[in-house]
Chain A
Amino acid sequence: MRAVAEAFRAAGVTGRLHARDIDTGGVVDVGGDEPVVLASVYKVPLLVAFYREAAAGRLDPAERITLPAGGRSPGPTGTSVMLDDVTLSLRDLALLMITVSDNGAADTIYDYVGRDTVNAAMAAFGLTRTRVTGNGRDLFAGLLDDAAAADLGDLWERLDEPGLSGRLGALDPTRTSASTPAEMTALLALIWRDEAAPPDACMHMRRMLGLQVWPHRLSSGFPFDDVHVAGKTGTLPTIRNEIGVVEYPDGGRYAVAVFTRSLLPVAVLPEADAVIGTAARLAVEELRRRP
């Protein structure tokens, strides 16, 4: 769609989009088969694998576990920034992982589920281009190593050094957790059609994705009180992603995956966040116009 490509250009990003009508199978595709860096979107395949393991009886989602105050994975939200020991059930950790992108919670879920289990679950769905290579802690360490940076603040401040972002493996889909927009909308469609796991597990996943707090990306494109938006963001330096499902009151349900990369190496770039919503709306409106 030319309008989507134009919106990406005007926002100063390169963008890839795939939108899928969950019920008719109609699609809008703007580079939807290109490899993309998942960033925190990897938490959705992880969530699906978690509930499949639970359904198979290999883990108990209600098991309460304690994450000690020291040593939780770094991140800007949730258990990563809490001060004291945290005791929660595994599924409430999954809730924090999805609703606020909690890295401490996500890495705990990852330890329980395992990387190979996530990849095997994706392969079982035929999502062969979706590969999870590591957890948040791995990604963080790799990012600082590649940049020879002391911490993330240091890396951000140096990100305007030309050439630096090209050296970061975490931003290269061949060297980090990656997928394609089309495979991510396929995964969402499975969750929304109760096919990713047993129906009650899919219901829990849909609930979590619907409780995500961030308003600035996918959700911002649908400023309509009667439209429901569920999603999961993904963020790394210059990378802004979100995948989600938009549900209209007439029953229309659309899975959308938008992956962007900005030219400007700045942390706060509202137009790059907003174009995720704008592009998604253009694609969904196109799908809704079709007979």
Chain B
Amino acid sequence: MNLVGHLSCFVAVAEELHFGRAADRLGMAQPPLSQRIQRLERELGVKLFDRSSRHVALTAAGELLLGEARDLLARADRITALAERVRDGEALRAGVPAGLGGGVVAALIAAYRERRPGVRLDLRELPTTTQVRALLDGSLDVGVLRHPCETRGLSLGPLLDQRIGVLLRAPAPPELALADLAGRDLVLFPRDEAPGSHDDWLAACRRHGFAPPTVHEAHPPFALGLVLAGTAVAFSPRVPDTAEAVWRPLRGEPLAWRTSCAWRNDTVGPAVADFTSVASAVFRREAAMTEPGPRRRVVPRPASGFLA
């Protein structure tokens, strides 16, 4: 029996709870689908569905096996994908977040090519949330994430902080405090791309006396437009000054981009390990990333205390 094929029939029926719809989804007719389910039930020695004239319902055994079946199908998909990649030559699918800067991306590609000339680096710019999903479903081998984000099921490379400053219309003093920005609007990367650091930064702004009346969610070119119009400021790693817009450090370094490489727990190979070490070196050298700062202080309160 083709177990994978039969299990995909089982999962389709379990999800649709309707033989007709499941058959449509699988692109087959209903009688052979029913036969396959019966064959699977005989093979496994358990009944997977309760069928009445109107309803199809999973049995307890069906419920129990569904998760395992999905898991097995996902693994089978990965085997096919892996075989394709071996056939087409070794490639590393890597994600990086927006805002790294062209120079950093170029240095990363060059350094990786030097370390692993035989591996094709398939580099894509993807938001953190998309990268996490893609790493978990196997469509990405390694990513560069902005923290905090969901990291269950992932392993992480070394943590690095990138100092964030403010981009504003010239002229500007050599250094500013966040409170000096009071009253200005803020342009920030879209929250959906990395809700953890988006919320983290806004909390830091409020903490330090900057509660922007409006937060625009936008990417660099549009952000620069709003900055040049003089109504808003933007946060970014250091960028070269122009005649109209200048980058300034923030006093006390209240904002940082916390970054690390990440890969799925069970997939570390030499290509991923090399990417992680190359990326860390490039980020330190080209993006002025550093070890994370001192540990934060947490004063426990009863309502948020242990088992409140």
Which residues in A have some Cβ–Cβ distance to B below 8 Å?
9, 12, 39-40, 74-77, 101, 103, 106, 136, 139-140, 143, 152-153, 156-163, 165-166, 214, 216, 233-236, 263-269, 273
Contact = CB atoms under 8 A, between A and B. Distances in A.
A235 B305 CA distance: 7
A48 to B, nearest CB: 18
B258 interface: yes
B308 A233 contact: yes
A267 B148 contact: no
Contact of B196 (A9, A75, A263): A263
A136 B307 contact: yes
Given A76-B306, A156-B300, 19 more contacts: A12-B196, A101-B307, A103-B306, A103-B307, A139-B307, A143-B306, A152-B300, A157-B296, A162-B148, A162-B260, A163-B156, A214-B308, A216-B303, A235-B304, A235-B305, A235-B308, A236-B306, A264-B199, A267-B299
Contacts of A234: 307
Interface in B283-300: 295-300
Contacts, number: 104
A1 B158 CA distance: 40
Contact of B307 (A214, A216, A235): A235
Most chain B CB inside 10 Å of its own CB: which residue of A9, A139, A268:
A268
Nearest to A269: B304
Contacts of A139: 307
Contacts of A268: 301, 304
A75 B300 CA distance: 11
Contacts of A233: 308
B159 A161 contact: yes
Interface string B183-196: 00000000000011
16 contacts: A12-B196, A75-B306, A75-B307, A76-B301, A76-B308, A77-B302, A101-B307, A101-B308, A152-B305, A156-B300, A162-B159, A166-B152, A216-B303, A263-B199, A264-B200, A268-B301
Contact of A236 (B154, B258, B307): B307
Q: 8 closest Cβ contacts across the A-B interface? A: A76-B305, A156-B298, A235-B308, A76-B302, A263-B196, A267-B304, A40-B307, A162-B147
Given A40-B308, A136-B307, A265-B148, A158 B156 contact: no
